[in-house]
Chains A and B, each alone.
Chain A
Amino acid sequence: MKASVNNAWVISALLVLSIISLISAASFGAANLSFADVVNVLLHNTLDIGKVSGIAERIIIELRFPRVLLAFIAGAGLSIAGSVLQTVTRNPLADPYLFGISSGASFGAVMVLTLFGGSGLLASSGLFSGLSLFAGADLLDTLEWFSLPLGAFIGAGLSVLMVLSLCGRTMSSQIERMLLSGVAISFMFGALTSLLLYFSSPQAAASVLFWSLGSFAKASWEGLILPAIVVSGATVIILLFKRQIMAMRAGDETAHTLGVNVGRLRLQMLLLCSLITAILVANCGGIGFVGLMIPHTVRMLFPGSFSLMTTALFGGLFMVWVDVLARSLLSHQELPVGIITAVIGSVFFLAILGRKN
């Protein structure tokens, strides 16, 4: 089959590109390092070959690699979640945040910030720790680093559970109920977040804003473990169901006649995608537009050889380079990733739309 050959080619090309990107992306940043430096450090670190400077090694291994990898995982995870949700809800506008996850996560984050925040903590760390890669980690910082993702995750989980409990198992009305309850829950958590922010300090508000725009600045090897496990685990499970998901594209009733338990599969997929999204939102903030745009872009760029793996790799690649831009566009400061994804994403998207027309 030509399509599958094409597909294999696209995936291998993207894989090679991803590996090169991961290495070269690690060479960008405040300290001046080259592609060769990164390769040397990698070789030294894994195979114990050659000699490298200790500082370069520390920067690359402890700071840049976790960050680049987190960006890749986040991009891949959000793209897969978006793609699967668009398919199972048969809604081209579905994205991982559609079901109230981001507002739930924001609410959780704001709760944490206002509960633990008080005064000094937020002013000193909340606002600036995200901006500065090398922020010194004091005890309060650590508390916030830990509790903010946790709060966000709990908030995200809460909103998903509410959507799941409201949408029911009947096939016919499920999508509609999912979307409507997602919107309602989004608004509810949005209102609660606004209320909390209204009564909190301006610093807390700024901190929440920065968090909600997304950043990979806090990446560490330890922080990478959970997102990596969740995203890869969920992706494997989704891939095992790829035929059923494909069948759902032909309509609920047709999928039913192909032996797919449509109602149950849709709930399972929503749960998996939500898990991916919640863990990513908790770790990197609300990075918008990727989950919506990447699946469409892949579909338009590789018509006929669309697959989940292509989408995942493409999303990961995109995010790695967006993060490079975030680090290097401004000299002493970082831009939030979410702003760049939205700007690049929308322009790119419009360009493709225009070309296809």
Chain B
Amino acid sequence: MPEVTPSKNAVLMVKGLTWLADRREILSDIHFSLPEGKMLGIIGPNGAGKSSLLRCLYRYIKPHSGSITLFGEDISILSAKEFAKQVAVVLQDTPHHFDLTTEQLVAIGLTPHKGPFEVTNASDREIVSDALAKVGLCHKAKQAYEHLSGGEKQRALIARAIVQRPKLLILDEPTNHLDIRYQIQILELLRSLSISVITSIHDLNLASALCDQLLLLDSGKAISHGTPSEVLTEQRIGEVFGVCCKVEVHPQHGNPQISYFYGYDNLSAGDKDHEG
């Protein structure tokens, strides 16, 4: 992989990150850094370690070696609350029996900013309604979160993260299960927030169009890190994903545009898919 150029104003810097599960290396020796205000897409086949990497970044799991620094500070020394004030995370799943209104869900984002004796005041309410306005859900504020559509749910979760007022936003496949209109909408919404974003993403064309940087993972290793045109080459996509494709320049944004070819021997393609 190309050497990471550590920029002076890096939000996040990851060095030699390794994580093992059952003595198997799920993530091995990963290096990258994220400049302020940029959007980093983490791509790779199923089981490449995308979710595990994100979990290390938001401290849900502890890496076995390596360091992760946030604005130059080791993240493991921050208190849970301090960390939550700087890093917000949007995950894929919401539990069942979730009977909050959209507004209540979004207000949960206040949690790290409030002490035990503090009540929700007028300025908190303004933050919540501003966040709802930003994701275009003001009219759904009083509705049950459960009754929102998939795209609206995802936007509500992002509004919750906005209320958290983070400097870094981490998302685990925010475009999953959404139709293409919503996929584009969600990612463009993230870009419009002008905060640093790290998101895992499956659709390479979408990642190419809307991320500033990409980090390609395969079997727990960082294969490539750089701009979409640096990372997404025909050869690399062929090696990592096991598909043949043609990479062209997209007529609108100028980043790589991938066309896949079809007709594979199912077994070998399946093998690749479940590796690592």
Residues of A within 8 A of B (CB): 1-4, 90, 92, 240-241, 243-244, 246-247, 249-251, 253-254, 256-261, 299, 303-304, 306
Q: B144 — which chain A residues lie within 8 A by C-beta?
A: 303-304
Interface pick from B112-120, B238-246, B256-264: B112-120
Determine whether B104 belongs to the interface, using a CB cutoff of 8 Å to chain A: yes
Contacts A/B (CB < 8 Å), 21 sampled: A1-B128, A3-B142, A4-B120, A240-B116, A243-B108, A243-B110, A243-B111, A243-B114, A247-B111, A250-B95, A251-B91, A251-B95, A254-B91, A257-B87, A257-B88, A257-B89, A259-B83, A259-B84, A260-B80, A261-B80, A299-B99
Q: B97 — which chain A residues lie within 8 A by C-beta?
A: 90, 92
- Contact check: which of B60, B98, B112, B120 meets A258 at CB < 8 Å? B112
- Contact check: which of A249, A253, A261 meets B98 at CB < 8 Å? A249
Determine whether B41 belongs to the interface, using a CB cutoff of 8 Å to chain A: no
Query: In the complex, A249→B98 CA distance in Å?
Result: 7
Determine whether B14 belongs to the interface, using a CB cutoff of 8 Å to chain A: no
Q: How far is the CB of A6 from chain B (nearest CB, A)?
A: 10
Q: How far is the CB of B172 from chain A (nearest CB, A)?
A: 9
- Determine the residue in chain B with the shortest Cβ distance to A242: B116
Query: Known: A4-B120, A249-B100, A250-B105. Contact between A260 and B142, CB under 8 A?
Result: no
Q: A246 — which chain B residues lie within 8 A by C-beta?
A: 104, 108, 111
Q: B100 — which chain A residues lie within 8 A by C-beta?
A: 249, 304
- Determine the residue in chain B with the shortest Cβ distance to A300: B99
Determine whether B67 belongs to the interface, using a CB cutoff of 8 Å to chain A: no
Query: Known: A4-B120, A249-B98, A250-B98. Contact between A258 and B109, CB under 8 A?
Result: yes
Q: A1 — which chain B residues lie within 8 A by C-beta?
A: 103, 120, 125, 128
Query: Known: A3-B101, A3-B104. Contact between A253 and B84, CB under 8 A?
Result: no
Q: Are A258's CB and B108's CB within 8 A? A: yes
Q: A249 — which chain B residues lie within 8 A by C-beta?
A: 95, 98, 100
Q: Contact string, B156-174, partner A, CB cutoff 8 A, digits 1/0?
A: 0000000010000000000
- Determine the residue in chain B with the shortest Cβ distance to A304: B101
- Determine the residue in chain A with the shortest Cβ distance to B59: A256
Q: B88 — which chain A residues lie within 8 A by C-beta?
A: 257
A-B contact count (CB 8 A): 81
Q: B125 — which chain A residues lie within 8 A by C-beta?
A: 1
The 7 closest A-B pairs by CB, nearest first: A259-B84, A257-B89, A259-B112, A240-B116, A259-B81, A258-B111, A259-B80
Q: A250 — which chain B residues lie within 8 A by C-beta?
A: 94-95, 98, 105, 108
Determine whether B50 belongs to the interface, using a CB cutoff of 8 Å to chain A: no
Q: B60 — which chain A residues lie within 8 A by C-beta?
A: 253, 256-257
Which B42-83 residues have C-beta < 8 A from chain A?
A: 58-60, 79-83
- Contact check: which of A90, A253, A259 meets B111 at CB < 8 Å? A259
Determine whether B155 belongs to the interface, using a CB cutoff of 8 Å to chain A: no
Query: In the complex, A351→B164 CA distance in Å?
Result: 40
Query: In the complex, A247→B103 CA distance in Å?
Result: 13
Q: Are A90's CB and B101's CB within 8 A? A: no
With A243-B114, A259-B112 given, name 10 new contacts (CB 8 A). A1-B128, A92-B97, A241-B116, A246-B111, A247-B108, A257-B84, A259-B84, A259-B85, A259-B111, A304-B100
Determine whether B93 belongs to the interface, using a CB cutoff of 8 Å to chain A: yes
- Determine the residue in chain A with the shortest Cβ distance to B100: A249
Q: B112 — which chain A residues lie within 8 A by C-beta?
A: 258-259
- Determine the residue in chain A with the shortest Cβ distance to B105: A250
Q: A254 — which chain B residues lie within 8 A by C-beta?
A: 89, 91, 94
Most chain B C-beta atoms within 10 Å of own C-beta, residue among A2, A243, A247, A258? A258
Q: A243 — which chain B residues lie within 8 A by C-beta?
A: 108, 110-111, 114
Q: How far is the CB of B196 from chain A (nearest CB, A)?
A: 16
Q: How far is the CB of B227 from chain A (nearest CB, A)?
A: 28
Query: In the complex, A244→B112 CA distance in Å?
Result: 9
